[in-house]
Chains A and B, each alone.
Chain A
């Protein structure tokens, strides 16, 4: 076991997969010699060579096309989009192409591609670096969307994503890259995609969340605990498809739930979680399922992040509304 930050755990997972499978290729803008703008691919080109880890021209759509084409030639591409909001340049490659390859060829061709990309607020990035646009891709049939919140999860989920024979979007929250260390096992292990994790057990209220909001929710749960409320925190880990069984089991136990996301209320995936709870366990509910989300504006100018981004206080407030309903 080693103490790792999330970025180290990601780097470790990439190294393990490069070693494990000669078809794994990493590419993107500045991922080679430079080791990536966040050092996620640090040292990998030196260890595995330019044939396996290489830089691309500055064009996200072209990177998407490269991933499709290399996938058709039997490679297992792991491209990087430098910041996730740049994915708009490659929307067709992701939603129009990669996600549909198996289907439109009736299974003849596949797209075993894992797109890695950083996103998320709280670090004062310039415009269009931090946007939470996972909801757009969660709505894309054929695509899985994974968002880890801890170094341990990041490693196991990334290895599982790379080994998946269908396309996966692996979204890395920038604020979580180096915010804390955790024990991460050496060597390979996987975490099944589509499986949530109960990060804290409780009996009075379920918080369903993902990404940086997992940590805000855990902090809120501690505060609520002091006031005598036992809160369960479910980290979805995969936001498409969502782990309905884990959510339902928790809500049936607690009878109350809130869904917490960093994305705007009209975006993200919280509405889908609410709908599933409503479909499947409305008779267990003591109160409506409320959402904590950002305002429906464009992602804030950096100096306005602190008043805009949802935080643990918002979560406590909404949790109390549901508890006291």
Chain B
């Protein structure tokens, strides 16, 4: 240590950084408001609408798992447990905002205007599942973890250049936060002060890998520091905290103050996907019980019931409506025409190059037989 008067205390610096990222909570597990100062300005009708969407989405998850088991759906990434994280963040958006979802973020797409039958076709692997309706600002779910983040920076920069008062929002998971594209996306949006909201839904596991093995960082929210942008960690099982954080990030963004990273602490009750993942191999029963007590629907129900604006009858109505609409959605999906190779060729380019045009004729002939 010759020539150095004192050790440079990097450890102290790290601790000081970590202390900046405390979990924001508004509703506790009992549905009690623990942070009234942050209470978002939502009417009773809006609170009920948010609850309805969460209940509906829980039913959608249960039905999707069951339809997947019957072979009536294909790829499916369960969402139960993440309703506050997914739907309260979405509820803070406006129609003109653009969503770049990850593969687990189908619920946000649906509530932004993608019909159920298209979500089901996407699950089955049909090109019509990606043909988002005109005016619905949603990109098809991203399978390459992290790609949605760099693309989000681009969409947000486009909005800034156009001068529109809207934001681009994207979602990844705790594992995704280890990707280079996630850092690049946040850093680009920061450098351009683009109106982007980056959400990391930290459900503690990337398939079987616990978040502790992703990084030594105590929070994911603090990764915002590397991009020089604000980072917020919220209780992702608390719909009001997620809504408040997203709404705040949106306000900042449309006022030209740049992007925000929001980490939601959440949990998926089901497996990673329905393709054979078994969470009992890597999660203890105790951990699952602990998170089940935090169920966002349970605490929001208690909160609304205490306000006298929600009851079992209302909830059952939503459940029945969801089941009906899901049944109808599956029926429409069943009616979609089978895909032909010529269909796939038709959506490759605006104008078919020579090789495709030649192959098109061959398949047209085959398909006519």
Interfacial chain A residues near B153, Cβ < 8 Å:
62, 65-66, 69
Q: Which residue of A lies closest to B134 (CB)?
A: A108
Interfacial chain A residues near B155, Cβ < 8 Å:
69-70, 72-73
Q: Contact mask B152-181 → A, CB, 8 Å, 1/0?
A: 111111110110000010000000000011
A57 to B181, CA, bound (A): 13
Knowing A72-B151, A73-B155, A106-B131, the reply to whether A194 touches B354 (Cβ < 8 A) is yes
Q: Contact mask B118-144 → A, CB, 8 Å, 1/0?
A: 000000000110111010000110001
Q: Which residue of B lies closest to A62 (CB)?
A: B184
- Give, as a whole number of angstroms, the nearest-CB distance from B273 to chain A: 19
- Give, as a whole number of angstroms, the nearest-CB distance from A202 to chain B: 24
Is the pair A106, B98 in contact by a Cβ cutoff of 8 Å?
no
From B154, B180, B181, name the one whose CB has the most chain A CB atoms within 10 angstroms.
B154
Interfacial chain B residues near A65, Cβ < 8 Å:
147, 149-154, 181, 184-185, 188
Knowing A73-B162, A106-B347, A108-B130, the reply to whether A92 touches B157 (Cβ < 8 A) is no
Knowing A65-B188, A102-B347, A110-B350, the reply to whether A92 touches B147 (Cβ < 8 A) is yes
Is the pair A51, B344 in contact by a Cβ cutoff of 8 Å?
no
* Contacting residue for B354 out of A57, A74, A245, CB 8 A: A245
Interfacial chain A residues near B344, Cβ < 8 Å:
103
- Give, as a whole number of angstroms, the nearest-CB distance from A108 to chain B: 5
* Contacting residue for B98 out of A72, A92, A243, A244, CB 8 A: A72
Q: Which residue of B lies closest to A54 (CB)?
A: B192
Counting contact residues on chain B (CB < 8 A from A), the size range is: 35 or more
Is the pair A66, B154 in contact by a Cβ cutoff of 8 Å?
yes
A228 to B128, CA, bound (A): 60
**Complex interface residues of chain A between 71 and 118 (CB less than 8 A to chain B):** 71-75, 92-93, 96-97, 102-110
Interfacial chain A residues near B181, Cβ < 8 Å:
61-62, 65, 92
Is the pair B157, A70 in contact by a Cβ cutoff of 8 Å?
yes
**Any chain A CB within 8 A of the CB of B187?**
yes
**Any chain A CB within 8 A of the CB of B348?**
yes
Is the pair A51, B161 in contact by a Cβ cutoff of 8 Å?
yes
A74 to B158, CA, bound (A): 8
- Give, as a whole number of angstroms, the nearest-CB distance from A157 to chain B: 15
**Any chain B CB within 8 A of the CB of A166?**
yes
Q: Which residue of A lies closest to B188 (CB)?
A: A62
* Contacting residue for A106 out of B130, B152, B162, CB 8 A: B130
**Any chain B CB within 8 A of the CB of A43?**
no
- Give, as a whole number of angstroms, the nearest-CB distance from A61 to chain B: 5
Interfacial chain B residues near A70, Cβ < 8 Å:
154-155, 157-158, 161
**Any chain A CB within 8 A of the CB of B191?**
yes
A243 to B353, CA, bound (A): 10
**Any chain B CB within 8 A of the CB of A256?**
no
Q: Which residue of A lies closest to B121 (CB)?
A: A106
Interfacial chain A residues near B187, Cβ < 8 Å:
57, 59, 62
**Any chain B CB within 8 A of the CB of A32?**
no
Is the pair B348, A241 in contact by a Cβ cutoff of 8 Å?
no
Is the pair B152, A69 in contact by a Cβ cutoff of 8 Å?
yes
A71 to B155, CA, bound (A): 8
Is the pair B350, A165 in contact by a Cβ cutoff of 8 Å?
yes
Is the pair B150, A61 in contact by a Cβ cutoff of 8 Å?
yes
Q: Which residue of A lies closest to B170 (CB)?
A: A69
From B130, B134, B187, name the one whose CB has the most chain A CB atoms within 10 angstroms.
B130
**Any chain B CB within 8 A of the CB of A141?**
yes
Is the pair A107, B131 in contact by a Cβ cutoff of 8 Å?
yes
Q: What residues of chain A have their CB less than 8 Å away from a CB belonging to chain B?
A: 25, 51, 56-57, 59, 61-62, 64-75, 92-93, 96-97, 102-110, 141-142, 144, 164-166, 194, 241, 243-245
Q: What residues of chain B have their CB less than 8 Å away from a CB belonging to chain A?
A: 98, 127-128, 130-132, 134, 139-140, 144, 147, 149-159, 161-162, 168, 180-181, 184-185, 187-188, 191, 344, 346-350, 353-356
23 contacts between A and B (CB under 8 A): A25-B161, A61-B181, A62-B185, A62-B187, A64-B150, A66-B150, A66-B153, A66-B154, A69-B151, A70-B161, A72-B151, A73-B154, A96-B144, A96-B147, A97-B147, A97-B151, A102-B350, A107-B131, A109-B139, A110-B350, A142-B348, A241-B355, A241-B356
